[in-house]
Amino acid sequence: MKHVFSYVRPFFKKMAFGFVIKFGGTVMDLFLPLLLSVIIDDIVPTGNRTMIYLAGGLMFVCSVLAILGNVGANRIAARVARDTTEKIRNDLFARISYLSARQIDAFTVPSLESRLTSDTYNIHQMVGMVQRLGVRAPCLLIGGVIITFLLEPVLTLVLIAVMPFIAVSVYLITKRGIPLFNAQQVATDDMTRVVRENAQGIRIIKALGKEGAERERFHGSNTALNRAEKRAALNMALTSPLMNLFLNFGLVAVIFVGAVRVNGGLSETGKIIAFTSYFTIILNALMSVTRIFIMSSRGIASANRIAEVLDTPEDMEPDAAYAPAEPPEGAPKIEFDHVSFSYNGVRNDVDDVSFTLNPGETLGVIGPTGAGKTTLIALMMRQYDVDSGSVRLDGVDVRAMSRDEISKKFGAAFQNDFLFADTVRTNIDFGRGLSDAALIDAARDAQAIPVIAEKPGGLDFELAIKGANLSGGQKQRMILSRALAGDPEILVLDDSSSALDYATDARLRMAIRERFAKEGRATTSVIVAQRISSILHSDLILVMEEGRITGRGKHAELLETCPLYREISDSQMGGALFE
């Protein structure tokens, strides 16, 4: 909850003003039954109509002031809740954006989505309700008890006797409710994951006719969420019935004792009527307090989940221990030195990998699925830190480099990369502020000019979410355009041309070679591919199996020395050397 308070603190003055208005409106509400009692017991018996009209007018004024005060305070509360939640969402999104890949794996993407949406919504509800009812309910409760004590001390003691039972019940139920709401949010995470997976894989699900199986899977996660919601709701649902039970007992006792006192001449009818009105006010105030506890329980559980992300320590910060004493000269552009890495700590996904790549050279990586090809890229870009060995760029260990230093060196295109629901220009530029001429050059090299030319608006054509209004090959050309724009020092193509036909793929590779072979350029390329033709002219080709390098060299060498490479070449090209 400390995070919520830190976000609310800037609005304390505005909240204080709202509380003052709310307090004034609440006091006006409390005056109404008291005025009614005075009219019935003191003014009506005199028969003075003028005083009756004046008292009635005063009640009307109090009612108007109560309405205006409550409405004004509620508007302030809504604005504070809105602005607080906006700041929390912004900071939470920024923090999520800077989580390392390992941290994101630990939280899971569906859970982060849930924290950013439903958990922040719960915070919004809690902040708003505390302002709307946090002043009004206690004022009505305490003020009602004080006024009733002044009216009828004996009846008030009957009412107060019920309060401890209510307080203990609310405390015990709320204490149990926080972990139940937390479990409910975890179940929400799981259902979000299933929905997300189905939304992303809807085409393959329909193609294979697996709608029934996915409905069953969703039904399972939805049922689990329903059970979690039911447990939380049943626990919190005990509050209102128990309060009603205790208050009804109190009301019966009040009416009985009041009737005895009126019959004995110890009290008056107007006071009893006023007392029952105050009893109703106190009842509603207690119900409001219960709502605050219920919403606070939900909000506290969500605040704790949000705090887990906000309090996650910075990962992969530059480590001065790995920084060289002097800037290295003539170092390789990329160097892997006996690198080993495991995602789960059980078996190495990359095992004892070593190679060097000089500026301007091209590295090709090929191998079966799960061989560790993409993991090499992730370690090179420091999405994960190595378990042993080192990865160096220009002679500097990546662990000594900041995130910005590393990212500025790379232009990358991945097979399942993402396109935003925005214009072609925005998707290629990617916030780098490049000129249209640079974007067109990159698109031309990526063979994307025909795609852009046929779309209405050209660079201003609006792409759908994930580029759904493009074909697979068109999406890959847009992604390649993004990677080529900005003249990166290191160009990474991770199976990024798999949807292109061979002719387009050949033109793409030729354009890249010509562009980055221009005078003054020394762009280093790393190409992960399933096609031999995509890496045929690489300066160094690595063949990977089960995380290890089983072959290295140029194309002709590997045909002679690496059985797996020769097998792949024969299956794709019949052993011929052509493009």
Q: What is the rounded CA–CA span in Å between residue 101 and residue 378?
A: 9
> Is residue 201 very low, low, confident or very high in pLDDT (cuts 50, 70, 90)?
low
Contact 26, 71 (CB under 8 A): no
User: At CA 162, angle to CA 161 and CA 167, rounded to 5?
Assistant: 115
* Domain regions of the chain by residue span: 2-310, 330-417+490-573
Percent of the chain predicted with pLDDT > 90: 12
DSSP 3-state of 363: strand
Q: What is the pLDDT of residue 579?
A: 41
Label residue 495 exposed, middle or buried (CB < 10 Å: 0-12, 13-18, 19+): buried
Cβ–Cβ contacts within 10 Å for residue 123, how many?
A: 25
Higher-confidence residue of 148 and 390: namely 390
Tokens of 203: 């085409």
Q: What is the pLDDT of residue 578?
A: 42
What is the mean pLDDT of the segment spanning 105-125? 86
> Which residues are within 8 A (CB) of 554 and not within 5 positions of it... i.e. 6 or more apart?
538, 539, 540, 541
Sheet containing 362-366, strands listed edge to edge, beginning at the edge strand earlier in sequence: 410-414, 490-494, 524-528, 362-366, 540-545, 548-553
Helix H or strand E encompassing 575: none
Q: What is the rounded CA–CA span in Å between residue 213 and residue 390?
A: 45
* Secondary structure of 14-28 in HEC code, one letter for each residue: HHHHHHHHHHHHHHH
Residue 484 has pLDDT above 70, yes or no: yes
Q: What is the DSSP letter of 115?
A: I
DSSP 3-state of 365: strand
Of 95-104, 253-262, 318-327, highest mean pLDDT: 95-104
> Is residue 200 very low, low, confident or very high in pLDDT (cuts 50, 70, 90)?
low
Residue 551 has pLDDT above 60, yes or no: yes
Determine how β-strand 540-545 pairs with β-strand 548-553: antiparallel
Tokens of 303: 């605040």
Residue 432 has pLDDT above 50, yes or no: yes
DSSP 3-state of 384: coil
Tokens of 248: 């009804």
Tokens of 401: 């480099």
Residue 413's closest CA among 455, 457, 443? 443
- 98 phi, psi to nearest 5 deg: -100, 5
Residue 481's closest CA among 447, 524, 450, 437? 447
Report the top-level CATH class of 330-417+490-573.
alpha beta
Contact 428, 485 (CB under 8 A): yes
Q: How far apart are the first and last CA of the chain?
A: 62
Contact 436, 425 (CB under 8 A): yes
The DSSP string of 456-506 is TTGGGPBPPGGGTTS-HHHHHHHHHHHHHTT--SEEEEESTTTTS-HHHHH
Contact 391, 341 (CB under 8 A): no
* Secondary structure of 181-222 in HEC code, one letter for each residue: HHHHHHHHHHHHHHHHHHHHCHHHHHHCCCHHHHHHHHHHHH
Residue 144 has pLDDT above 60, yes or no: yes
Rounded to whole angstroms, the maximal C-alpha distance in the chain is: 119
177-198 CB burial, b ≥16 within 10 A, e <16:
bbebbbbbbbbbbbbbbbeeeb
Residue 579 CA to its chain's centroid (Å): 46
Considering just the CA atoms, what is the radius of gyration of the chain in Å? 35
Q: What is the pLDDT of residue 340?
A: 94
Q: What is the pLDDT of residue 418?
A: 78
Q: What is the pLDDT of residue 363?
A: 92
Residue type, 577: L
DSSP 3-state of 543: strand
DSSP 3-state of 134: coil
User: At CA 492, angle to CA 490 and CA 496, rounded to 5?
Assistant: 155
Percent of the chain predicted with pLDDT > 70: 92
* CATH number assigned to the domain covering 2-310: 1.20.1560.10
Q: What is the pLDDT of residue 576?
A: 47
Higher-confidence residue of 208 and 280: namely 280
Q: What is the pLDDT of residue 248?
A: 74
Contact 99, 56 (CB under 8 A): no
Beta bridge partners of 553: 541
Beta bridge partners of 543: 366, 551
Cβ–Cβ contacts within 10 Å for residue 140, how many?
A: 24
17-52 CB burial, b ≥16 within 10 A, e <16:
ebbebbbbbbbbbbbbbbbbbbbbbebeeeeeeeee
Q: What is the DSSP letter of 42?
A: I
Helices 49-97 & 120-133 angle (0-180, nearest 10): 160
DSSP 3-state of 357: strand
Residue 349's closest CA among 393, 296, 388? 388
What is the mean pLDDT of the segment spanning 263-268? 70
Contact 335, 524 (CB under 8 A): no
User: What torsion do the CA atoms of 167, 172, 175, 179 make, to the nearest 10 degrees?
Assistant: -140
- 421 phi, psi to nearest 5 deg: -75, 80
Report pTM.
0.71
Residue 199 has pLDDT above 70, yes or no: no
Give residue-wise pLDDT tens across range 49-97.
888 888 888 888 888 888 888 888 889 989 999 999 999 999 999 888 8
Residue 481 has pLDDT above 80, yes or no: yes
User: At CA 361, angle to CA 356 and CA 363, rounded to 5?
Assistant: 65
Mean pLDDT, all residues of the chain: 82
